[in-house]
Structure 1
Amino acid sequence: MSAAELIGMSLAGLTEAYASRALSPVEVLRTVLGHAEAINPAINALFCFRPEQAMASAQGSEARWKAGAALGPLDGVPMTVKDSVAMIGWPYFHGIGANRALPPSNYDSPPAIALREAGAVIFAKTTMPDCGLMASGISSLHGVTRNPWGLAWNTGGSSAGAGASVAAGAGYVSVGTDIAGSVRLPAAHCGLAGLKPTHGRVPHLPADTMRMAGPMGRSVDDIARLLTVLTRQDERDTWSLPADGVRYQEHLKRDVKGLKIGLLTDMGFGMKAEPAVRSAVEAAGKLLASAGATVEPFTSPLIDDAYAPIDLFLQVRGYLEYASLPPHGDTARDINPYVRAWCLGGAKHSGADLYRSLGQIAKMKAALLAAFEGWDYVIAPTLPVVNFPAEEPGVSREMPLAHTLFTAMFNQTCQPASTVCMAFDSRHLPIGVQVIGHRFDDLGVLQVTKALEDMRSFAMDWPFKPRP
């Protein structure tokens, strides 16, 4: 088996090879590490490589597979986690240069505990923009993270390094976090499958009303296996749901016949979907209709700028994080100037402004959830644009998260939402289509996403060698 074939294996194929002794976690890790170290200078997606620690984990996994005592679907799988996922003894910088001297984390976030208990082999952390407050791959600490499908193009964010590294074969899956689309956006830009679970399905710290952790991988089956491991209850996260015990990868096949699926291509405000993006969503709708689903236009109930109060909330949140940074010089090496300028605007808002924005968000949430009544699922763009240059903070410099309008709303409603690559544009850049379901129906969202993945007319030619 060539290195490219090994790197491109599914998690199912990989663990089957471990079970049959055709492959060992140690030799797989050596190959993945070599590949990751070779390509990372081009994409700048990984930092804090820990080859010795990873090798010790791989050796433990190898012993378990030999003894027939594997810990589950991730035992021995080389993978990464995002900078913002706290792990004992690992750095936690949140993408900010001013944090570079902080000591390693002294606690584990729930995803870190779940992965360790599952035998996953974590060999590096992934890059992210400052504070996680840009849907882009630029960071004062990490620099510019580049898309392996085209190095001039953006990875999206904030799980920028996770998207780029998995697409380029530097690990099989990764854990990202999502506050306004930060799993789905880079997954879409990088051609991956990704899921923002129902809020609380995957516990995370610090506990948050908008942000949650989610799986990213090269296939729906792979992210389903990762979700199986990440789903648990943790009382430290006050939003955590009881563990459902579902082995998601075992239930992905579903006949979509009879499902009522809405087709959303206009949020009713803000940026409109580019023609290539709109075409990809409409084509996905036709595929589902051809399989027997009822697919009809879904009209957004939103008229006013529903993103504006979210932006205000995040701006205040950003200001509080900025104000708590260690002493620094406010240079581009300490904090990204776009993030700094945007965060400083948060100081201008009063408590009444913040409370008013929360009320506006609640009204938006109620309207959107009411519009979902009678629909099983809705498909929509993940992003209104295909891509933008790698060095840019977003489509808009003034409001770097403005292009997250198709994703950010569903962080507020707490609904599960996925993305899967359903087309490429003329530059051969990926276009993701989003699947949104009702709260707690994470499995159903994955099933519809899997159906779309199975029906797409092309094979993924993954950029294991990053492309100029």
Structure 2
Amino acid sequence: MSAEELIGMNLAGLTGAYASRELSPVEVLQAVINHSMAVNGSINALFSFRPEQAIASARQSEARWKAKAALGPLDGVPMTVKDSVAMVGWPYFHGIGANRSQPPSNYDSPPAIALREAGAVIFAKTTMPDCGLMASGISSLHGITRNPWGLAWNTGGSSAGAGASIAAGAGFVSVGTDIAGSVRLPAAHCGLASLKPTHGRVPHLPADTMRMAGPMGRSVDDIARLLTVLTRQDERDTWSLPADDVRYHERLGRDVKGLKIGVLTDMGFGAKPEAAVRNAVEATGELLAGAGAIVEPFISPLDYDAIAPIDLFLQVRGYLEYNSLPPHTDSERDINPYVREWCLGGARHSGADLYRALGQIGKMKAAMLAAFEGWDYVIAPTLAVVNFPAEEPGVSREKPLEHTLFTAMFNQTCQPASTICMAFDRRHLPIGVQIIGHRFDDLGVLQLTKSLEGLRSLTMDWPFHPRA
């Protein structure tokens, strides 16, 4: 088997080969590390490589597979986690140059514990923009992370390195985090499958009202395997749900016939989708209708700028993080200038402003959840644009999160939302479609996403050799 065939395997095939002794976790890891180091110079998606530590973990996994005592569906799988997922002894920089001298983390976030207990082999961390407050791949610490489908184009963010590395074959899956679209946006830009789970389904720290961790991979089956491992209860996260014990990867089959599915292409405010994006969403609806689903337009209940109060809340949040940084120079080496200027705007807002914004968010949330009554699922763009240049902080320089309007709403409503690539534009850049379900219906969202993966006619010619 060639190195390219090996790194292109799905997790079912990979762990099946471990079980049959056709492949060893050690040889697979070595191939993945060699490939990752070869491609990382062009995409700049990974940092803190730990080959010796990873090889030790792979050897332990190899012994378990030989003894027929594998720990689960991720045992021996080479993978990565995002900069913002705390792991004991690993760096936790949050993408910020001013944090470069900070000591390693002294605690494990719940996803890190789950992965370690499942025997996953973590060999590196993935890059992210400053504070996680840009839907872009630019970081004062890490530099520019580039999209392997086209190095001139953006990865999206904030799980930028996760998106780029998986698409380029540098690891099989990764854990990202999502506060306004940060798992779904880079997945869409990079052609991946991903899921922002129901809030609390995957515990994470620090506990948060709108941010959660989620799986990213090249197939729905792969992210379902990762979700199976990540779901658990952790009382340190006050939003954590009781463990559901669902083996998601074993329950992906579903007939879509009779499902009532809405097609959302206009959020009621903000940017309208580009023609290529709108066409991809509408074509996806047609595929579902052809499979027997009841597909009709979903009309957004929003007729005002609902991203504005979310932006204000995150701006204040960013201002507090900026003020807590170690002594720094405010140079581009220490803090991204776009993030800095945007965060400093948080100083203008009073407590009353913030409380008012929270009330507006609550109003939006109630309206959106009410609009979902009577629908099983809604499909929508992940982004209104296909892509934008790698050097840009977003579609807007003044408001780096403005173009997240199709994703950020569902962080607030706490609904599960996935992304799957359903088209390419004329430049052969991926276009993701978002699938949103009711709270707690993570399995159903994955099932519908799996159905779309089977219905799509495109070929995922993964850029294991990043393209100019």
Cα distance in 1 for residues equivalent to 2:26 and 2:169 = 17
Q: Deviations over 1:326-358 (max 9, x none)?
A: 000000000000000000000110000000000
**3-state SS of paired residue (1:153):** strand
Question: Structure 1: 5+ residue runs without aligned partners?
Answer: none
Q: Deviations over 1:139-184 (max 9, x none)?
A: 0000000000000000000000000000000000000000000000
* Paired amino acid for 2:97: G
1:459 Cα offset (Å): 1.6
| 1:11 alignment counterpart | 11
* Paired amino acid for 2:419: T
1:458 Cα offset (Å): 1.5
Question: Structure 2: 5+ residue runs without aligned partners?
Answer: none
| 2:458 alignment counterpart | 458
**3-state SS of paired residue (1:262):** strand
Cα distance in 1 for residues equivalent to 2:3 and 2:262 = 42
Please show how residues 9-408 of structure 1 align to structure 2 within 5 Å: 9-408=9-408
1:216 Cα offset (Å): 0.1
1:27 Cα offset (Å): 0.2
* Paired amino acid for 2:40: N
Cα distance in 2 for residues equivalent to 1:72 and 1:250 = 13
State how many pairs are aligned: 468
**3-state SS of paired residue (2:421):** strand
* Paired amino acid for 1:451: S
| 2:409 alignment counterpart | 409
**3-state SS of paired residue (1:194):** strand
* Paired amino acid for 1:30: Q
RMSD: 0.2
* Paired amino acid for 2:101: A
Q: Deviations over 1:370-404 (max 9, x none)?
A: 00000000000000000000000000001010000
* Paired amino acid for 2:358: L
Cα distance in 2 for residues equivalent to 1:76 and 1:282 = 40
Cα distance in 2 for residues equivalent to 1:454 and 1:245 = 26
Cα distance in 1 for residues equivalent to 2:208 and 2:93 = 18
Cα distance in 2 for residues equivalent to 1:257 and 1:234 = 37
**3-state SS of paired residue (1:234):** coil
* Paired amino acid for 1:86: A
- TM-score for the superposition, normalised by structure 2: 1.00
Cα distance in 2 for residues equivalent to 1:384 and 1:246 = 33
Q: Deviations over 1:272-325 (max 9, x none)?
A: 100000000000000000000000000000000000000000000000000000
User: After TM superposition, which residue ranges in structure 1, 4 or more long, deviate above 6 angstroms?
Assistant: none
1:422 Cα offset (Å): 0.1
Cα distance in 2 for residues equivalent to 1:348 and 1:53 = 46
**3-state SS of paired residue (1:33):** helix
Q: Deviations over 1:38-60 (max 9, x none)?
A: 00000000000000000000000
Cα distance in 2 for residues equivalent to 1:35 and 1:82 = 19
- TM-score for the superposition, normalised by structure 1: 1.00
Q: Deviations over 1:244-277 (max 9, x none)?
A: 0000001101000000000000000001100000
